[in-house]
Amino acid sequence: MGLPKFSRPKGGHDREELSCNLYVANCGPAVGLTLDRIASAFTSFGIVKGVYPADETGCRVIVSYHDHASAHSALKALTQSPCLRDLGGRSLHVRYSVERPPCLAKGSDSVQVYLEASELNIPGIYLIHDFVSPQQEEQLLAAVDARPWHSLAKRRVQHYGYEFRYDIRNVNTHQQLGELPSFVTCVTERIPLFRNLNEATAISLDQLTVNEYPAGVGLSPHIDTHSAFEGSIYSLSLSGSCIMEFRAYAGDTDSDTNSSNLLRKAIYLPPRSMLLLSGEGRYAWQHYIPHHKVDMVKDTMIRRGPRRVSFTFRKVRKGPCQCDYPQFCDSQKVKRDD
């Protein structure tokens, strides 16, 4: 069955609240749920016009309501308690689905977005879905919201362990802020799960940066400074989703602006997922979050939530980097310039 072309509702109110259509992940035939069963479960919030596959995976659907109020009620209820008893109590990821914006129309400058890290075919990049539970997500967000934020130009940040200096893109290893807070233990104790994904390096993480991104705010393309951190960087996405694009240039450096030499790949990061950057993916590929409010994922438009909060865990490097990618390495560039 093909996915209908949904129209964005018109009106003078917040358009997020006017959408009649919901994107629902972890829900579909591939996880043992028929479209009729899904429709029946979602009728508790209003009249369902139809349920359609969101993509070819069979585990993501579009639930289309007769009116926007029903869709808003379902989203609000499932955001607070993201499961339905009639669907076996599965944890669902729910977002509005909207009309494709002109800037993301077919034929524009876009890149295919993958759902699994293995599809990227970039060595050293891994993704684990549902790394924390909805309850842990709520507790983590409450913990950081109870602490002071530092405002940057377009987002807010908190630093633990060591402060990351954006002006020099590095840390002062002689100014430790303290240990990582106890409220992230539920995250750090699960880091060893990545050893089952061929990332066997055991490191003691000692730096955490928490970023809060309002809707529409992204991240400029960059490679984390080699001399600042060790090889494994872990980024947990909470509250909202986004896509992350990876860029590499066919030339000898990351400063070649010739678009014909640019390789681009992207992955969808749902809430509660943990991304690992290591090896080539960490040292030689830029990562980037586009600055827009709607992401195109497998021909489905997913509106970002009002905020996305990322917890990025790293290990501060105490000496020069000696990686296998000298053309991108600030430590080894200094050696060559001496």
Residue-level pLDDT at 319: 87
CATH number of 113-330: 2.60.120.590
Residue 108, amino acid: S
Q: Which residues pair with 247 in a beta bridge?
A: 264, 286
| Whether pLDDT at 81 is above 90 | no
Measured distance CA(312)–CA(155) in Å, rounded: 15
Judging by DSSP bridges, how do beta strands 307-314 and 207-214 pair with one another? antiparallel
Longest CA span, the chain: 71
**8 A C-beta contact, residue 75 and residue 94:** yes
Measured distance CA(37)–CA(45) in Å, rounded: 14
Find the mean pLDDT for residues 197-221.
82
pLDDT by residue (tens digit) across 139-193?
999 999 999 999 998 999 999 999 988 888 888 888 889 999 999 999 999 988 7
Residue 145: burial class (beta carbons within 10 Å; 0-12, 13-18, 19+) = exposed
Record the pTM: 0.72
Residue-level pLDDT at 97: 82
pLDDT-derived band at 259, boundaries 50, 70, 90: low
Measured distance CA(329)–CA(322) in Å, rounded: 8
Find the mean pLDDT for residues 216-235.
92
Work out the percent of the chain whose per-residue pLDDT is above 90: 49
Domain coordinates in residue numbering, the chain: 15-99, 113-330
Measured distance CA(330)–CA(247) in Å, rounded: 18
Residue 337, amino acid: D
Please report which helix (H) or strand (E) contains residue 310, including its range.
strand 307-314
Q: Which residue has the higher pLDDT, 30 or 206?
A: 206
| Whether pLDDT at 205 is above 60 | yes
Residue 4 tokens, joined: 């209908």
Residue 174, amino acid: H
Phi, psi of 228 (to 5 degrees): -85, -40
pLDDT-derived band at 99, boundaries 50, 70, 90: low
CATH number of 15-99: 3.30.70.330
Judging by DSSP bridges, how do beta strands 113-114 and 262-269 pair with one another? parallel
| Whether pLDDT at 220 is above 50 | yes
Residue 52, amino acid: Y
pLDDT by residue (tens digit) across 15-66?
444 688 999 988 888 888 888 889 999 999 999 988 888 876 778 889 999 8
